[in-house]
Structure 1
Amino acid sequence: MNPTGYREVPEHGAGLVCSWTAALPAGAEPFVQRVVPDGCVDMIWSAGGIHVAGPDTGPMPAAVRPGAEIVAVRFGPGAAPPVLGVPADALRDGRGPLRDLWGGAADALADAVAGAGSLEERRAALVAGVRARAAVAGPVDPLVPVVVAGLAGGSVREVADAVGLGERQLRRRSLAAFGYGPKTLQRVLRFQRALGLARSGVALADVASAAGYADQAHLSNEVKALAGVPVRALL
Protein backbone atom coordinates (compact mmCIF):
# COMPACT_ATOMS: atom_id res chain seq x y z
CA MET A 1 0.00 0.00 0.00
CA ASN A 2 1.26 3.49 -0.77
CA PRO A 3 1.41 6.11 2.02
CA THR A 4 -2.11 7.38 1.29
CA GLY A 5 -3.83 4.03 0.72
CA TYR A 6 -4.75 5.27 -2.74
CA ARG A 7 -7.15 3.12 -4.77
CA GLU A 8 -8.66 3.74 -8.22
CA VAL A 9 -11.87 2.23 -9.60
CA PRO A 10 -12.45 2.47 -13.39
CA GLU A 11 -15.66 4.29 -14.34
CA HIS A 12 -17.61 4.61 -17.57
CA GLY A 13 -20.20 7.15 -18.60
CA ALA A 14 -20.79 10.71 -17.35
CA GLY A 15 -17.36 11.60 -18.75
CA LEU A 16 -15.59 9.78 -15.91
CA VAL A 17 -12.44 7.73 -16.29
CA CYS A 18 -12.23 6.63 -12.67
CA SER A 19 -13.21 7.26 -9.09
CA TRP A 20 -10.65 7.04 -6.32
CA THR A 21 -10.22 6.91 -2.58
CA ALA A 22 -7.35 7.72 -0.26
CA ALA A 23 -6.93 7.46 3.50
CA LEU A 24 -4.07 8.18 5.88
CA PRO A 25 -4.12 6.59 9.37
CA ALA A 26 -4.40 8.94 12.31
CA GLY A 27 -0.95 8.05 13.61
CA ALA A 28 0.86 8.45 10.30
CA GLU A 29 3.13 11.26 9.21
CA PRO A 30 1.57 13.94 6.98
CA PHE A 31 2.01 13.09 3.31
CA VAL A 32 2.36 15.37 0.28
CA GLN A 33 1.53 13.89 -3.11
CA ARG A 34 2.94 15.46 -6.27
CA VAL A 35 0.04 15.82 -8.73
CA VAL A 36 1.22 16.10 -12.34
CA PRO A 37 -0.68 17.31 -15.43
CA ASP A 38 -2.97 14.75 -17.07
CA GLY A 39 -5.61 16.87 -18.81
CA CYS A 40 -8.23 15.71 -16.32
CA VAL A 41 -10.43 17.45 -13.77
CA ASP A 42 -11.04 15.90 -10.35
CA MET A 43 -13.97 16.49 -8.01
CA ILE A 44 -12.73 15.69 -4.50
CA TRP A 45 -14.67 15.18 -1.26
CA SER A 46 -13.11 15.38 2.20
CA ALA A 47 -14.38 16.42 5.59
CA GLY A 48 -14.15 20.03 4.45
CA GLY A 49 -16.61 19.54 1.60
CA ILE A 50 -16.16 19.08 -2.16
CA HIS A 51 -13.68 20.96 -4.27
CA VAL A 52 -12.67 20.89 -7.92
CA ALA A 53 -9.06 20.48 -9.08
CA GLY A 54 -7.41 21.10 -12.42
CA PRO A 55 -6.66 20.81 -15.25
CA ASP A 56 -3.05 21.55 -14.38
CA THR A 57 -0.17 22.86 -16.45
CA GLY A 58 2.51 21.97 -13.91
CA PRO A 59 3.08 20.02 -10.70
CA MET A 60 0.75 20.68 -7.79
CA PRO A 61 1.36 19.52 -4.20
CA ALA A 62 -1.59 17.80 -2.52
CA ALA A 63 -1.25 17.48 1.25
CA VAL A 64 -2.94 14.57 3.02
CA ARG A 65 -3.33 14.99 6.77
CA PRO A 66 -3.23 12.11 9.28
CA GLY A 67 -6.74 10.74 9.76
CA ALA A 68 -7.94 12.11 6.42
CA GLU A 69 -10.40 10.21 4.25
CA ILE A 70 -10.86 11.33 0.65
CA VAL A 71 -13.14 10.20 -2.18
CA ALA A 72 -13.08 11.64 -5.67
CA VAL A 73 -14.08 11.26 -9.30
CA ARG A 74 -11.91 12.07 -12.29
CA PHE A 75 -13.29 13.45 -15.54
CA GLY A 76 -11.43 12.58 -18.74
CA PRO A 77 -9.97 15.40 -20.87
CA GLY A 78 -12.76 17.63 -22.16
CA ALA A 79 -15.54 15.94 -20.21
CA ALA A 80 -15.96 18.15 -17.14
CA PRO A 81 -17.30 21.49 -18.49
CA PRO A 82 -20.91 20.40 -19.19
CA VAL A 83 -21.23 18.80 -15.74
CA LEU A 84 -19.53 21.61 -13.82
CA GLY A 85 -21.17 24.37 -15.85
CA VAL A 86 -18.03 26.38 -16.66
CA PRO A 87 -15.38 26.22 -19.41
CA ALA A 88 -12.29 24.27 -18.47
CA ASP A 89 -9.96 27.24 -18.72
CA ALA A 90 -11.84 28.80 -15.78
CA LEU A 91 -10.53 25.87 -13.71
CA ARG A 92 -6.98 25.68 -15.05
CA ASP A 93 -4.35 25.32 -12.30
CA GLY A 94 -7.09 26.00 -9.77
CA ARG A 95 -8.48 24.45 -6.61
CA GLY A 96 -11.87 25.76 -5.56
CA PRO A 97 -15.13 24.80 -3.83
CA LEU A 98 -17.77 23.05 -5.92
CA ARG A 99 -20.27 25.31 -4.19
CA ASP A 100 -18.96 28.22 -6.29
CA LEU A 101 -20.21 26.35 -9.36
CA TRP A 102 -23.26 24.42 -8.13
CA GLY A 103 -24.50 26.45 -5.19
CA GLY A 104 -26.68 24.51 -2.75
CA ALA A 105 -26.56 21.37 -4.91
CA ALA A 106 -22.89 21.03 -3.98
CA ASP A 107 -23.76 21.16 -0.28
CA ALA A 108 -26.45 18.53 -0.77
CA LEU A 109 -24.01 16.20 -2.51
CA ALA A 110 -21.35 16.78 0.15
CA ASP A 111 -23.90 15.93 2.85
CA ALA A 112 -24.92 12.76 1.00
CA VAL A 113 -21.31 11.63 0.74
CA ALA A 114 -20.56 12.47 4.38
CA GLY A 115 -23.68 10.58 5.50
CA ALA A 116 -22.64 7.36 3.80
CA GLY A 117 -20.99 4.74 6.00
CA SER A 118 -17.70 3.34 4.76
CA LEU A 119 -15.15 4.95 2.47
CA GLU A 120 -16.40 2.70 -0.33
CA GLU A 121 -20.00 3.78 0.28
CA ARG A 122 -18.92 7.39 0.19
CA ARG A 123 -17.16 6.82 -3.12
CA ALA A 124 -20.34 5.25 -4.53
CA ALA A 125 -22.45 8.17 -3.25
CA LEU A 126 -20.18 10.71 -4.97
CA VAL A 127 -20.23 8.76 -8.24
CA ALA A 128 -24.03 8.51 -8.10
CA GLY A 129 -24.37 12.24 -7.50
CA VAL A 130 -22.10 13.13 -10.39
CA ARG A 131 -23.90 10.72 -12.71
CA ALA A 132 -27.25 12.27 -11.79
CA ARG A 133 -25.92 15.73 -12.56
CA ALA A 134 -24.36 14.58 -15.84
CA ALA A 135 -27.69 13.08 -16.94
CA VAL A 136 -29.24 16.56 -17.13
CA ALA A 137 -26.13 18.45 -18.28
CA GLY A 138 -25.41 19.49 -21.84
CA PRO A 139 -23.32 17.37 -24.20
CA VAL A 140 -19.55 17.29 -24.38
CA ASP A 141 -18.14 19.30 -27.29
CA PRO A 142 -18.11 16.80 -30.21
CA LEU A 143 -14.59 17.97 -31.09
CA VAL A 144 -13.18 16.45 -27.87
CA PRO A 145 -12.56 12.85 -29.03
CA VAL A 146 -11.48 14.00 -32.50
CA VAL A 147 -8.91 16.43 -31.11
CA VAL A 148 -7.56 13.97 -28.54
CA ALA A 149 -7.14 11.27 -31.19
CA GLY A 150 -5.71 13.67 -33.77
CA LEU A 151 -3.10 15.17 -31.47
CA ALA A 152 -1.80 11.71 -30.62
CA GLY A 153 -0.22 11.46 -34.05
CA GLY A 154 -0.59 14.74 -35.89
CA SER A 155 0.24 18.42 -35.69
CA VAL A 156 -2.11 21.15 -34.52
CA ARG A 157 -2.47 22.36 -38.10
CA GLU A 158 -3.35 18.86 -39.30
CA VAL A 159 -5.98 18.52 -36.58
CA ALA A 160 -7.44 21.94 -37.41
CA ASP A 161 -7.67 20.98 -41.07
CA ALA A 162 -9.24 17.63 -40.22
CA VAL A 163 -12.05 19.24 -38.21
CA GLY A 164 -12.53 22.15 -40.60
CA LEU A 165 -11.50 24.93 -38.23
CA GLY A 166 -8.85 27.60 -38.31
CA GLU A 167 -6.12 27.29 -35.72
CA ARG A 168 -7.54 30.22 -33.72
CA GLN A 169 -11.00 28.65 -33.66
CA LEU A 170 -9.49 25.32 -32.61
CA ARG A 171 -7.61 27.06 -29.82
CA ARG A 172 -10.80 28.71 -28.50
CA ARG A 173 -12.70 25.44 -28.55
CA SER A 174 -9.78 23.62 -26.93
CA LEU A 175 -9.44 26.15 -24.12
CA ALA A 176 -13.13 25.83 -23.30
CA ALA A 177 -13.13 22.02 -23.44
CA PHE A 178 -9.72 21.08 -22.06
CA GLY A 179 -8.43 24.18 -20.31
CA TYR A 180 -5.41 24.15 -22.63
CA GLY A 181 -4.66 25.25 -26.15
CA PRO A 182 -4.09 22.27 -28.48
CA LYS A 183 -0.30 22.49 -28.31
CA THR A 184 -0.26 22.32 -24.51
CA LEU A 185 -2.86 19.54 -24.58
CA GLN A 186 -0.64 17.59 -26.96
CA ARG A 187 2.34 17.98 -24.60
CA VAL A 188 0.30 16.84 -21.60
CA LEU A 189 -1.16 13.80 -23.37
CA ARG A 190 2.26 12.81 -24.72
CA PHE A 191 3.75 13.15 -21.23
CA GLN A 192 1.05 10.87 -19.83
CA ARG A 193 1.68 8.26 -22.56
CA ALA A 194 5.38 8.35 -21.76
CA LEU A 195 4.74 8.04 -18.04
CA GLY A 196 2.49 5.03 -18.56
CA LEU A 197 5.11 3.30 -20.69
CA ALA A 198 7.91 4.06 -18.23
CA ARG A 199 5.86 2.77 -15.30
CA SER A 200 5.21 -0.45 -17.21
CA GLY A 201 8.96 -1.10 -17.37
CA VAL A 202 9.80 0.12 -20.88
CA ALA A 203 13.34 1.52 -21.16
CA LEU A 204 13.41 5.31 -21.32
CA ALA A 205 15.08 5.40 -24.75
CA ASP A 206 12.23 3.27 -26.09
CA VAL A 207 9.66 5.34 -24.21
CA ALA A 208 10.89 8.47 -25.96
CA SER A 209 10.48 6.93 -29.40
CA ALA A 210 7.13 5.29 -28.70
CA ALA A 211 5.60 8.40 -27.15
CA GLY A 212 6.69 10.69 -29.98
CA TYR A 213 9.65 12.59 -28.53
CA ALA A 214 12.62 13.47 -30.70
CA ASP A 215 14.98 11.63 -28.36
CA GLN A 216 15.51 10.77 -24.69
CA ALA A 217 16.84 14.25 -23.93
CA HIS A 218 13.62 15.75 -25.31
CA LEU A 219 11.62 13.39 -23.09
CA SER A 220 13.67 14.35 -20.03
CA ASN A 221 13.27 18.08 -20.66
CA GLU A 222 9.51 17.82 -21.17
CA VAL A 223 9.00 15.70 -18.06
CA LYS A 224 11.01 18.15 -15.97
CA ALA A 225 9.03 21.07 -17.41
CA LEU A 226 5.62 19.50 -16.72
CA ALA A 227 6.31 17.53 -13.55
CA GLY A 228 9.15 19.45 -11.97
CA VAL A 229 11.25 16.32 -11.38
CA PRO A 230 13.09 13.76 -13.54
CA VAL A 231 11.00 10.94 -14.94
CA ARG A 232 12.59 8.36 -12.62
CA ALA A 233 11.22 10.26 -9.62
CA LEU A 234 7.71 9.54 -10.91
CA LEU A 235 8.14 5.77 -11.29
Structure 2
Amino acid sequence: MYLEWAPDPALAGRVARIWTNVATSSSTQLVVPDGCVDLIWGPDGPHVAGPDTGPMPVRMSPGDRYSGVRFRPGAVGEVFGVPVEALRDSRVPLADLGVLPDLTPGTMQEALAVRLRETPEPDPAASAIAAALLAGRSVGQVAWELGLGERQLHRRSLRAFGYGPKTLQRVVRFQRALRLARRGVPAAEAALASGYADQSHMANEVRRLAGVPLGRLLARP
Protein backbone atom coordinates (compact mmCIF):
# COMPACT_ATOMS: atom_id res chain seq x y z
CA MET A 1 0.00 0.00 0.00
CA TYR A 2 1.41 3.36 -1.07
CA LEU A 3 0.63 6.55 0.85
CA GLU A 4 2.02 10.08 0.56
CA TRP A 5 1.58 13.40 2.33
CA ALA A 6 2.99 16.91 2.48
CA PRO A 7 6.33 17.45 4.23
CA ASP A 8 6.96 19.52 7.34
CA PRO A 9 6.93 23.28 6.59
CA ALA A 10 10.71 23.43 7.15
CA LEU A 11 11.17 21.14 4.14
CA ALA A 12 8.34 22.27 1.89
CA GLY A 13 10.44 24.54 -0.31
CA ARG A 14 12.69 21.70 -1.41
CA VAL A 15 10.76 18.51 -0.68
CA ALA A 16 7.76 17.51 -2.77
CA ARG A 17 6.31 14.81 -0.55
CA ILE A 18 6.84 12.23 2.15
CA TRP A 19 5.77 8.69 1.28
CA THR A 20 5.56 5.13 2.52
CA ASN A 21 5.07 1.89 0.64
CA VAL A 22 4.30 -1.40 2.37
CA ALA A 23 4.22 -4.59 0.32
CA THR A 24 1.20 -6.83 0.92
CA SER A 25 2.38 -9.50 -1.52
CA SER A 26 5.41 -10.45 -3.57
CA SER A 27 5.72 -8.05 -6.47
CA THR A 28 8.08 -6.00 -8.59
CA GLN A 29 7.49 -2.27 -8.40
CA LEU A 30 8.62 -0.31 -11.44
CA VAL A 31 10.19 3.07 -10.64
CA VAL A 32 10.23 5.36 -13.68
CA PRO A 33 12.08 8.65 -14.30
CA ASP A 34 10.48 11.72 -12.70
CA GLY A 35 13.36 14.18 -12.33
CA CYS A 36 13.49 13.66 -8.57
CA VAL A 37 15.96 12.37 -6.00
CA ASP A 38 14.66 10.34 -3.06
CA LEU A 39 16.07 9.61 0.39
CA ILE A 40 14.68 6.16 1.22
CA TRP A 41 14.69 3.94 4.29
CA GLY A 42 14.11 0.35 3.20
CA PRO A 43 14.65 -3.18 4.56
CA ASP A 44 18.42 -2.76 4.08
CA GLY A 45 18.61 0.66 5.73
CA PRO A 46 18.75 4.18 4.26
CA HIS A 47 19.89 4.89 0.74
CA VAL A 48 19.64 7.61 -1.88
CA ALA A 49 17.85 6.99 -5.17
CA GLY A 50 19.41 9.28 -7.74
CA PRO A 51 17.73 10.82 -10.80
CA ASP A 52 16.81 8.04 -13.22
CA THR A 53 17.00 8.01 -17.00
CA GLY A 54 15.33 4.61 -17.34
CA PRO A 55 13.17 2.09 -15.44
CA MET A 56 14.33 0.75 -12.08
CA PRO A 57 12.51 -2.44 -10.96
CA VAL A 58 12.31 -3.01 -7.19
CA ARG A 59 11.54 -6.51 -5.94
CA MET A 60 9.33 -6.42 -2.83
CA SER A 61 8.36 -9.21 -0.44
CA PRO A 62 5.28 -9.25 1.85
CA GLY A 63 5.81 -6.91 4.79
CA ASP A 64 8.65 -4.92 3.21
CA ARG A 65 8.30 -1.29 4.22
CA TYR A 66 9.86 1.70 2.51
CA SER A 67 9.72 5.29 3.82
CA GLY A 68 10.92 8.12 1.63
CA VAL A 69 11.50 11.83 1.19
CA ARG A 70 11.15 12.99 -2.41
CA PHE A 71 12.98 16.16 -3.36
CA ARG A 72 11.51 18.53 -5.89
CA PRO A 73 13.25 18.40 -9.29
CA GLY A 74 16.45 20.43 -9.11
CA ALA A 75 16.13 21.03 -5.34
CA VAL A 76 18.49 18.46 -3.83
CA GLY A 77 21.60 20.63 -4.20
CA GLU A 78 24.57 19.45 -2.12
CA VAL A 79 22.55 17.73 0.60
CA PHE A 80 24.26 14.38 0.07
CA GLY A 81 27.77 15.77 -0.27
CA VAL A 82 28.27 14.74 -3.91
CA PRO A 83 27.23 16.25 -7.26
CA VAL A 84 23.76 15.16 -8.28
CA GLU A 85 25.10 13.66 -11.51
CA ALA A 86 27.19 11.25 -9.40
CA LEU A 87 23.89 9.74 -8.20
CA ARG A 88 22.32 9.35 -11.64
CA ASP A 89 20.75 5.92 -12.23
CA SER A 90 22.13 4.75 -8.88
CA ARG A 91 20.97 3.52 -5.48
CA VAL A 92 23.67 4.53 -2.99
CA PRO A 93 23.73 3.48 0.69
CA LEU A 94 23.63 6.61 2.83
CA ALA A 95 26.59 5.33 4.85
CA ASP A 96 28.75 5.51 1.70
CA LEU A 97 28.03 9.24 1.39
CA GLY A 98 29.11 10.16 4.92
CA VAL A 99 26.11 12.38 5.71
CA LEU A 100 23.17 12.03 8.13
CA PRO A 101 24.92 9.19 10.03
CA ASP A 102 22.31 8.85 12.81
CA LEU A 103 19.27 8.77 10.57
CA THR A 104 16.24 6.68 11.54
CA PRO A 105 12.79 6.58 9.90
CA GLY A 106 11.31 8.55 12.78
CA THR A 107 13.89 11.33 12.62
CA MET A 108 14.24 11.53 8.85
CA GLN A 109 12.46 14.88 8.38
CA GLU A 110 14.04 16.55 11.42
CA ALA A 111 17.56 15.44 10.49
CA LEU A 112 17.06 16.48 6.89
CA ALA A 113 15.86 19.95 7.92
CA VAL A 114 19.10 20.42 9.88
CA ARG A 115 21.15 19.21 6.92
CA LEU A 116 19.37 21.60 4.53
CA ARG A 117 20.31 24.55 6.73
CA GLU A 118 23.95 23.48 6.58
CA THR A 119 24.22 23.33 2.79
CA PRO A 120 23.98 26.01 0.07
CA GLU A 121 20.67 26.65 -1.63
CA PRO A 122 20.19 24.92 -5.01
CA ASP A 123 20.43 26.83 -8.28
CA PRO A 124 17.57 29.38 -8.24
CA ALA A 125 17.14 28.90 -12.00
CA ALA A 126 16.37 25.18 -11.65
CA SER A 127 12.61 25.58 -11.23
CA ALA A 128 12.45 27.99 -14.17
CA ILE A 129 14.38 25.56 -16.37
CA ALA A 130 12.05 22.67 -15.51
CA ALA A 131 8.90 24.81 -15.93
CA ALA A 132 9.98 26.14 -19.31
CA LEU A 133 10.79 22.67 -20.63
CA LEU A 134 7.48 21.36 -19.27
CA ALA A 135 5.72 24.18 -21.11
CA GLY A 136 7.18 22.90 -24.37
CA ARG A 137 10.05 25.33 -24.92
CA SER A 138 13.03 24.05 -26.85
CA VAL A 139 16.43 23.90 -25.17
CA GLY A 140 17.54 26.87 -27.26
CA GLN A 141 14.49 28.90 -26.25
CA VAL A 142 15.02 28.14 -22.57
CA ALA A 143 18.65 29.23 -22.78
CA TRP A 144 17.69 32.47 -24.53
CA GLU A 145 14.88 33.27 -22.06
CA LEU A 146 17.23 32.79 -19.10
CA GLY A 147 20.05 34.76 -20.70
CA LEU A 148 22.32 31.73 -20.89
CA GLY A 149 24.35 30.07 -23.60
CA GLU A 150 23.34 26.49 -24.37
CA ARG A 151 26.57 25.20 -22.82
CA GLN A 152 25.88 27.19 -19.66
CA LEU A 153 22.36 25.79 -19.56
CA HIS A 154 23.72 22.28 -19.94
CA ARG A 155 26.19 22.73 -17.07
CA ARG A 156 23.57 24.21 -14.75
CA SER A 157 21.04 21.54 -15.64
CA LEU A 158 23.62 18.83 -14.97
CA ARG A 159 24.40 20.29 -11.54
CA ALA A 160 20.74 20.79 -10.61
CA PHE A 161 19.05 17.71 -12.07
CA GLY A 162 21.84 15.22 -12.67
CA TYR A 163 21.49 15.29 -16.46
CA GLY A 164 21.36 17.77 -19.31
CA PRO A 165 18.32 19.77 -20.46
CA LYS A 166 17.49 17.45 -23.36
CA THR A 167 17.16 14.48 -21.01
CA LEU A 168 15.22 16.61 -18.53
CA GLN A 169 12.88 17.64 -21.36
CA ARG A 170 12.21 13.99 -22.18
CA VAL A 171 11.51 13.19 -18.53
CA VAL A 172 9.10 16.08 -17.85
CA ARG A 173 7.28 15.45 -21.13
CA PHE A 174 6.91 11.75 -20.24
CA GLN A 175 5.62 12.59 -16.76
CA ARG A 176 3.07 15.06 -18.15
CA ALA A 177 1.77 12.46 -20.61
CA LEU A 178 1.58 9.86 -17.83
CA ARG A 179 -0.44 12.19 -15.58
CA LEU A 180 -2.87 12.96 -18.40
CA ALA A 181 -3.26 9.29 -19.33
CA ARG A 182 -3.96 8.39 -15.70
CA ARG A 183 -6.76 10.95 -15.68
CA GLY A 184 -8.36 9.17 -18.62
CA VAL A 185 -7.20 11.48 -21.42
CA PRO A 186 -6.99 9.46 -24.68
CA ALA A 187 -3.44 8.59 -25.70
CA ALA A 188 -3.45 10.67 -28.88
CA GLU A 189 -4.63 13.75 -26.99
CA ALA A 190 -2.15 13.17 -24.17
CA ALA A 191 0.66 12.92 -26.71
CA LEU A 192 -0.13 16.23 -28.38
CA ALA A 193 -0.78 18.03 -25.08
CA SER A 194 2.59 16.88 -23.78
CA GLY A 195 4.59 18.07 -26.75
CA TYR A 196 5.09 14.83 -28.69
CA ALA A 197 4.88 14.90 -32.47
CA ASP A 198 2.21 12.21 -32.40
CA GLN A 199 1.04 9.14 -30.49
CA SER A 200 3.74 6.94 -32.05
CA HIS A 201 6.44 9.33 -30.86
CA MET A 202 5.02 9.15 -27.34
CA ALA A 203 4.80 5.36 -27.43
CA ASN A 204 8.46 5.06 -28.40
CA GLU A 205 9.56 7.46 -25.67
CA VAL A 206 7.47 5.69 -23.03
CA ARG A 207 9.14 2.39 -23.92
CA ARG A 208 12.60 3.97 -23.70
CA LEU A 209 11.98 5.63 -20.34
CA ALA A 210 9.70 3.09 -18.65
CA GLY A 211 10.65 -0.14 -20.37
CA VAL A 212 7.01 -1.10 -20.95
CA PRO A 213 4.16 0.18 -23.15
CA LEU A 214 1.91 2.92 -21.76
CA GLY A 215 -1.01 0.49 -21.24
CA ARG A 216 1.09 -1.78 -19.02
CA LEU A 217 2.44 1.19 -17.12
CA LEU A 218 -1.07 2.48 -16.41
CA ALA A 219 -2.15 -0.97 -15.21
CA ARG A 220 0.52 -1.00 -12.50
CA PRO A 221 -0.42 0.24 -9.03
TM-score normalised by structure 2 residue count: 0.91
Structure 1 residue aligned with 2:119: 137
Alpha-carbon distance in structure 2 between the residues aligned to 1:87 and 1:14: 20
Alpha-carbon distance in structure 2 between the residues aligned to 1:46 and 1:187: 29
- Given candidates 6, 15, 20, the residue that maps to 1:10 is 6
- Given candidates 32, 35, 40, the residue that maps to 1:39 is 35
| CA deviation map 1:48-91 (0-9, x unaligned) | 22100120000011122222121111011111123222221110
Instruction: Give the partner amino acid of 2:94.
Output: L
Give the fraction of aligned pairs with identical amino acids, expressed as a percent.
52
**CA, structure 1 residues 161+41, in 2 after alignment: closer, same or farther (shift >3 Å)?**
same
Alpha-carbon distance in structure 2 between the residues aligned to 1:190 and 1:10: 24
| 2:220 aligned with 1:226 | no
Alpha-carbon distance in structure 2 between the residues aligned to 1:54 and 1:67: 25
| CA deviation map 1:98-139 (0-9, x unaligned) | 122234x33x013xx2xxxxxxxx3xx322221221122210
**Post-superposition offset of 1:14:** 4.8
Gap runs ≥5 in structure 1: 114-121
Gap runs ≥5 in structure 2: none
- Given candidates 103, 115, 123, the residue that maps to 1:109 is 103
TM-score normalised by structure 1 residue count: 0.86
How many positions carry a matched residue from both structures? 214
Alpha-carbon distance in structure 2 between the residues aligned to 1:67 and 1:225: 31
Structure 1 residue aligned with 2:193: 210
Instruction: Give the partner amino acid of 2:44.
Output: G
Q: Which sits farther off after the overlay, 174-183 or 157-166?
A: 157-166
Alpha-carbon distance in structure 2 between the residues aligned to 1:159 and 1:142: 15
Structure 1 residue aligned with 2:47: 51
The structure carrying a bigger helix percent of its residues is 1
**Post-superposition offset of 1:206:** 0.8
Instruction: Give the partner amino acid of 1:81.
Output: G
Alpha-carbon distance in structure 2 between the residues aligned to 1:10 and 1:198: 24
Tell me, yes or no, if the aligned pair for 1:50 and 1:97 is still in contact at 8 Å: yes
Tell me, yes or no, if the aligned pair for 2:73 and 2:161 is still in contact at 8 Å: yes
| CA deviation map 1:144-193 (0-9, x unaligned) | 01111221221101111112221111111111110110000000000000
Tell me, yes or no, if the aligned pair for 1:204 and 1:216 is still in contact at 8 Å: yes
SS at match of 1:82: coil
Alpha-carbon distance in structure 2 between the residues aligned to 1:204 and 1:162: 31
SS at match of 1:81: coil
SS at match of 1:80: coil
Structure 2 residue aligned with 1:66: 62
Q: CA RMSD in A?
A: 1.4
Alpha-carbon distance in structure 1 between the residues aligned to 2:97 and 2:14: 18
Residues 115-126 of structure 1 aligned to structure 2 (within 5 Å): 122=106, 125-126=107-108
| 2:160 aligned with 1:177 | yes
